[in-house]
Amino acid sequence: MSDVIDIVGGGLTGPLMAIYLARKNFTVRLHERREDMRKAVAQEGRSINLALTARGMKALDEVGLKEKVLDICIPMKGRMVHDTAGNTVLHPYGQKDSEVIYAVSRGQLNNLLLDAAEKAHVVITFSRRCTGYDIDGNLLHFTDADGGAREVDAGIVIGADGAGSAVRKAIMARDKNFAFTNDTLDYSYKELEIPPAAGGGFQLEAAALHIWPHKNFMMIALPNTEGSFTCTLFYKTKGAQSFDQLADEKSVTDFFAAHFPDAVPLMPRLLDDFFSNPTGALYTIKCAPWHHAGKAAILGDAAHAIVPFFAQGMNSGFEDCSFLNSLVVAGENNWEKVFTAFTAGRKDNADAIADMAVENFIEMRDLVTDPHFILKKKVGFALEKRWPDKFIPRYSMVVFRADIPYAEAKARGMAQDKILETLCAGISSPEELNWELAEKLLHDMPARKSA
């Protein structure tokens, strides 16, 4: 039993977990590889944002940060789909005014969490990279800012150190039964920018997530509070139509002019951004168990890195923190039991969202313009309107319903999809829907009331 908790990683999940545990009166030490982001982000100049949804918001609410975070968010009510003629159409995410997702700056959110952690008396050390963890000897090894090596007597260790987790590697080395897979997608991504309008303000509709879908690739754009949009191009890594082909200014200019003509005039720094910003890889990490010997556990991307197409990486990581917190009772912890219950309660859900995130890439880059898919969406909304406890669109279950576990959303989503396929066969609009058949098909679907 230890009252000291060492959290490795001060990204998004590390400070949140630290706040939860500090509020339970544990002594929490947070070790972060980078320098203090609150100074670094101000200098960085490049905005990177994320979509925050109900699961993440629920966790932030639990630690009293929801209102503060809402102050730095922009609500997005749907996907604004752009075609190559510059036409746009908005596909709403949900049917109620409250069914929005929130664009938030990664840097600002990280800073807010670090401030709150410090306020909760978490001791944060920056520029401290974990280089190893001797689980049997209870020692954490670090390199400090000056390059010097440092050993720290470890308390309970929580690895919130992202997809390349040093804590996970230590657990893996110690547990010969540790299962680990890393599936790299054959796509990569590059972040670009649409700056604010010359006189200030947004150059595109601010209350939407913009998509330029192109069947096997796409660009998206999310708004930032200062009026810019962070755009992300998702494109094959190698091959005929891929980042490989975008090696010089002409090929980049031609590619954007052909596929994103309405965005190009809004991107005056396109070429600079394209060639100076890194190209990132996309992968899914699955592993188990997420703990070892009642001494250490991993959460967030360290335990389950997923592709970003359902905007749930951070949200699921925040849900990890909330769930782990619910298992911890100050002063009477059997960490082995807590961590075992943590893996048992989260693993299936993490696997489910990992799989749904890969599937959602196809929806975003291809299906959003497909008439049959659009019809299914409309029919799904009609069913939800009439039987809100029986039919809940999968997107809504994942994104708006923190009370429905991901594994349930996946299973229910598959059953609902079969029903939609049956109901949409041979019709072209929701007005033609066979309501009698719909009622019959939904009869056995267990009711799911809002929590």
Give the x-and-dash track for 123-152 against ligand FAD (CB under 6 A): ------xx----------------------
Residue choice 5, 12, 30, 267 for contact with ligand FAD (CB under 6 A):
12
- Segment near ligand FAD (CB under 6 A); pick from 39-47, 159-167, 254-262, 368-376: 159-167
Nearest distance, CB of residue 383 and ligand FAD, angstroms: 27
**HSE on the CB side for 79, CA within 13 Å?**
22
SS (H, E, C) 111-167: HHHHHHHHHCCCEEECCCEEEEEECCCCEEEEECCCCCEEEEECCEEEECCCCCCHH
Position 166 contacts ligand FAD (CB under 6 A): yes
Size of the site for ligand FAD (CB under 6 A): 32
Residue of 110, 108, 92 lying closest to 100 (CA atoms): 92
* Residue closer to ligand FAD, measured from CB, 129 or 378: 129
* Residue closer to ligand FAD, measured from CB, 180 or 435: 180
Contact 110, 11 (CB under 8 A): yes
- Segment near ligand FAD (CB under 6 A); pick from 157-165, 265-273, 356-364, 412-420: 157-165
Position 94 contacts ligand FAD (CB under 6 A): no
Position 51 contacts ligand FAD (CB under 6 A): yes
Position 9 contacts ligand FAD (CB under 6 A): yes
Position 50 contacts ligand FAD (CB under 6 A): yes
Strand order in the sheet with 78-82: 88-92, 78-82, 209-213, 218-223, 229-236, 179-194, 279-288
Position 33 contacts ligand FAD (CB under 6 A): yes
Position 300 contacts ligand FAD (CB under 6 A): yes
**HSE on the CB side for 409, CA within 13 Å?**
25
Position 286 contacts ligand FAD (CB under 6 A): no
Place of tokens 């150059």: 203
Measured in degrees and rounded to the nearest 5, phi and psi for residue 132 equal 175, 165
* Residue closer to ligand FAD, measured from CB, 169 or 377: 169
Position 313 contacts ligand FAD (CB under 6 A): yes
Three-point CA angle 188, 161, 61, nearest 5°: 95
Position 312 contacts ligand FAD (CB under 6 A): yes
Give the x-and-dash track for 173-192 against ligand FAD (CB under 6 A): ----------------x---
Position 158 contacts ligand FAD (CB under 6 A): no
Nearest distance, CB of residue 409 and ligand FAD, angstroms: 15
Instruction: Quickly count: other Cβ atoms within 10 Å of residue 295's Cβ.
Output: 20
Three-point CA angle 341, 331, 55, nearest 5°: 45
Position 38 contacts ligand FAD (CB under 6 A): no
* Residue closer to ligand FAD, measured from CB, 391 or 400: 400
DSSP helix/strand/coil, 105: strand
Position 402 contacts ligand FAD (CB under 6 A): no
Position 315 contacts ligand FAD (CB under 6 A): yes
- Segment near ligand FAD (CB under 6 A); pick from 154-162, 209-217, 362-370, 412-420: 154-162
Residue choice 6, 7, 14, 377 for contact with ligand FAD (CB under 6 A):
14
Burial zone of 291 (CB within 10 Å; 0-12 exposed, 13-18 middle, 19+ buried): buried
Contact 230, 47 (CB under 8 A): yes
- Segment near ligand FAD (CB under 6 A); pick from 300-308, 343-351, 364-372, 409-417: 300-308
Residue of 412, 417, 411, 419 lying closest to 437 (CA atoms): 419
Residue choice 3, 23, 24, 34 for contact with ligand FAD (CB under 6 A):
34
Q: Which residues contact 425 (CB under 8 A, 6 or more apart)?
A: none
Position 69 contacts ligand FAD (CB under 6 A): no
Q: What does the alpha-carbon distance between residue 51 and residue 310 come to, in Å, rounded to a whole number?
A: 9
Burial zone of 195 (CB within 10 Å; 0-12 exposed, 13-18 middle, 19+ buried): middle
* Residue closer to ligand FAD, measured from CB, 284 or 416: 284
Nearest distance, CB of residue 56 and ligand FAD, angstroms: 6
Determine if residue 448 is left, alpha or beta; phi over 0 gives left, psi from -120 to 50 gives alpha, anything else beta. Answer: beta
Q: What does the alpha-carbon distance between residue 152 and residue 115 come to, in Å, rounded to a whole number?
A: 24
* Residue closer to ligand FAD, measured from CB, 86 or 280: 280
List residues near ligand FAD by CB under 6 A.
8-14, 31-34, 50-51, 129-130, 160-162, 166, 189, 232, 280, 300-302, 308, 311-315, 317
